[in-house]
């Protein structure tokens, strides 16, 4: 039985009837690719072991009960040694893109550790998804690091498949969301000259086919494969093609040679949901033409009978997923809600300072279920039930200083799971019917949370409790708290009243 959207792929040759199904290790299971690969592997008959630094981020996935979830850090040799035991094929789907100026050294070290652990554990194959690149030395840092990781894994002593892809077309992918929002929001745009470079994009559905099929390659195969869709387009062609599919007028695109990748990435960070730190390496990669030089992958993973998805078909599929609220993973899926060293809001005191709390509670003449449905639907197009002008102004200010602002919206209109983005917040905890805890990702001189609780008292009345928590860092943090405290009555008081009213008047 094949997974949805993925044709049947043969099992590895080592698998025989009556023996356990092969075990696939998936790193990056909380990420965009890994989160979509897991159900495809399950549908193809694999057992799956998913590793994550924060396994709680996988709790809401539809496949969570069907896989073995292991808490592990890919940068820890001991964690990798334990995770590799009994593994037949290991998928390397992690990278430090957007993590800072030293992401190349992090990628290098992690790849070396992964290859060594796979070799010592007797893993049959490593599969890695890298970046398609021209055969030149002067690559962007992002593509150079992707190439180096592939070379390290190929030299690990474990048979390795390195798939090299350019722009991946799928709802929620960073490349697709960047193109989508630029095209939708800018009917006239001045662009860098790289919009005329040739690109061979590929649909996420076909990337997943190649990833699953790579597990069955013969042991003697140890090489890279270029993978791409059936068309070669320029970035300008892609934006115009998106506009046609989305029913938008033709865009006016004016290429200029003076826009640097740094300037372009900051513009992308303002106009699209992709943060500037992630946009910079993506934009830097677009200065190269990325076209497949060979199609050898077809000898091992044949094309489906209907062929690979072309550009416009891939865009239509992605937009249908967005319209149906069926976006299973996004480019930011891997960003955990809490770093291991960060405090939690239930800690009354912390070495870095004292939590400041604004707490409010009220009786709601509605059931707890009705209140919870309002709480879980907060944010995005549903708004924040408060002083709209204040929220918008704070969002604009946040974007000016490089934060996410209010542009990220929601993954789903009515359901939330741990790890979801929610405008400038990230969902840190969900206790169905009771607690929603959001952690602020806006630019702040400190850490902030918002807790929304639906409770019942001893008399059976529904209680709506709301807590805003802030942990200031240094004097700037304290000054910020004192500056915004006078507005809490407008912002949080209004939220308290309006959420209660919305629950009481639900049809």
64 burial via Cβ count (<10 Å: 0-12, 13-18, 19+): middle
pTM of the complete model:
0.73
105's torsion region: left (phi>0), alpha (psi -120 to 50) or beta?
alpha
Sequence-separated (6 or more) residues with CB below 8 Å from residue 305: 7
For position 489, what pLDDT does the model report? 84
The H or E element spanning position 91 is: strand 89-92
Alpha-carbon distance of 423 to 342, in angstroms, equals 21
**Residue 229 backbone dihedrals phi, psi, to 5 degrees:** -75, -175
Q: Give the three-state DSSP class for 165.
A: strand
Residues composing the chain: 507
For position 10, what pLDDT does the model report? 47
The answer to whether 376 and 415 are in contact (CB under 8 A) is yes
Alpha-carbon distance of 405 to 274, in angstroms, equals 11
For position 281, what pLDDT does the model report? 66
Q: Which long-range contacts (CB under 8 A, 24 or more apart) does 11-17 make?
A: 11/44, 11/45, 11/46, 11/216, 12/88, 12/89, 12/124, 12/125, 12/215, 12/216, 13/216, 13/218, 14/88, 14/124
The answer to whether 363 and 405 are in contact (CB under 8 A) is no
For residue 410, what is the DSSP state?
A: B
Q: Which of these, 89, 93, 30, 90, lies nearest to 63 by C-alpha position?
A: 30
For position 126, what pLDDT does the model report? 97
Q: What angle do CA 272, 430, 351 make, to 5 degrees?
A: 85
The answer to whether 158 and 125 are in contact (CB under 8 A) is yes
The H or E element spanning position 491 is: helix 488-504
Kindly report, residue by residue over 210-261, the tens digit of the pLDDT.
999 999 999 999 999 999 999 999 999 999 999 999 999 999 988 877 666 6
With a cut of 70, which residues of the chain have pLDDT below it? 1-19, 96-101, 258-267, 269, 273, 275-281, 284, 332-354
Structure tokens at 162: 């390195």
The answer to whether 303 and 145 are in contact (CB under 8 A) is no
Distances in Å between the alpha carbon of 236 and those of 252, 254, 286, 435? 10, 10, 12, 45
The order of strands in the sheet holding 421-422 is: 356-364, 462-472, 446-456, 435-440, 425-431, 421-422
- Please name each of the domains of the chain with its CATH number: 23-323 (3.40.50.720), 351-504 (3.30.530.20)
Q: Name the E strands within 331-472.
A: 349-350, 353-354, 356-364, 421-422, 425-431, 435-440, 446-456, 462-472
Alpha-carbon distance of 108 to 96, in angstroms, equals 10
Alpha-carbon distance of 325 to 458, in angstroms, equals 38
What is the pairing mode between strands 233-234 and 198-199? antiparallel
Alpha-carbon distance of 205 to 317, in angstroms, equals 10
For position 311, what pLDDT does the model report? 95
For position 59, what pLDDT does the model report? 76
For position 414, what pLDDT does the model report? 82
């Amino acid at each position: 039985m094949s997974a949805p959207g993925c044709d049947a792929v043969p099992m590895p040759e080592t698998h025989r009837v009556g023996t356990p199904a092969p075990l696939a290790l998936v790193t990056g299971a909380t990420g965009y690719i890994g989160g979509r690969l897991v159900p495809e592997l399950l549908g193809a008959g694999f057992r799956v072991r998913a590793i994550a630094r924060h396994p709680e981020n996988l709790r809401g996935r539809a496949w969570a009960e069907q896989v073995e979830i292991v808490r592990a850090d890919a940068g820890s040799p001991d964690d990798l040694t334990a995770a590799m035991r009994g593994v037949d094929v290991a998928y390397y789907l992690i990278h430090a893109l957007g993590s800072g100026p030293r992401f190349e050294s992090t990628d290098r070290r992690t790849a070396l550790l992964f290859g060594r652990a796979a070799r010592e554990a007797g893993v049959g194959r490593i599969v890695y998804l890298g970046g398609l690149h021209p055969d030149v030395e002067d690559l962007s840092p992002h593509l150079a690091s992707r190439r180096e990781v592939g070379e390290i894994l190929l030299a690990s002593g474990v048979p390795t498949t390195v798939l090299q892809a350019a722009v991946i077309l799928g709802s929620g992918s960073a490349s697709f969301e960047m193109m989508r929002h630029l095209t939708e929001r800018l009917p006239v745009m001045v662009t860098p000259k790289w919009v005329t470079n040739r690109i061979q994009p590929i649909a996420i559905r076909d990337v997943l086919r190649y990833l699953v099929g790579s597990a069955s390659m013969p042991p003697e195969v140890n090489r890279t494969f270029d993978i791409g869709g059936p068309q070669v387009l320029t970035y300008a062609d892609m934006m115009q093609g998106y506009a046609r599919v989305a029913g938008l007028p033709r865009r006016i695109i004016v290429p200029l040679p003076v826009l640097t990748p740094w300037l372009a990435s900051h513009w992308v960070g303002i106009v699209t949901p992709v943060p500037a730190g992630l946009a910079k390496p993506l934009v830097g990669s677009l200065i190269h033409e990325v076209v497949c030089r060979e199609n050898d992958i077809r000898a091992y993973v044949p094309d489906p009978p209907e062929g690979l998805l072309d550009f416009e078909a891939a865009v239509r599929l992605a937009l249908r997923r967005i319209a149906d609220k069926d976006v299973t993973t996004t480019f930011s899926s891997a960003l955990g809600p809490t770093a291991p060293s960060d405090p939690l809001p239930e800690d009354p005191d912390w070495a870095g300072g004292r939590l400041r709390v604004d707490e409010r509670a009220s009786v709601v003449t509605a059931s707890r279920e009705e209140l919870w449905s309002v709480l879980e639907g907060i944010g995005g197009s549903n708004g924040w039930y408060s002083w709209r002008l204040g929220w918008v102004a704070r969002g604009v200010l946040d974007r000016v200083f490089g934060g996410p602002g209010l542009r990220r919206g929601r993954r789903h209109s009515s359901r939330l799971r741990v790890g979801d983005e929610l405008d400038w917040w990230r969902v840190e905890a969900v206790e169905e019917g009771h607690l929603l805890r959001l952690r602020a990702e806006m630019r702040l001189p400190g850490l902030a949370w918002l807790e929304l609780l639906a409770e019942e008292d001893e008399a059976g009345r529904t209680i709506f409790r709301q807590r805003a928590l802030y942990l200031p860092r240094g004097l700037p943090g304290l000054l910020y708290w004192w500056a915004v405290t006078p507005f809490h009555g407008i912002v949080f008081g209004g939220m308290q009243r309006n959420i209660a009213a919305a629950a009481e008047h639900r049809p």
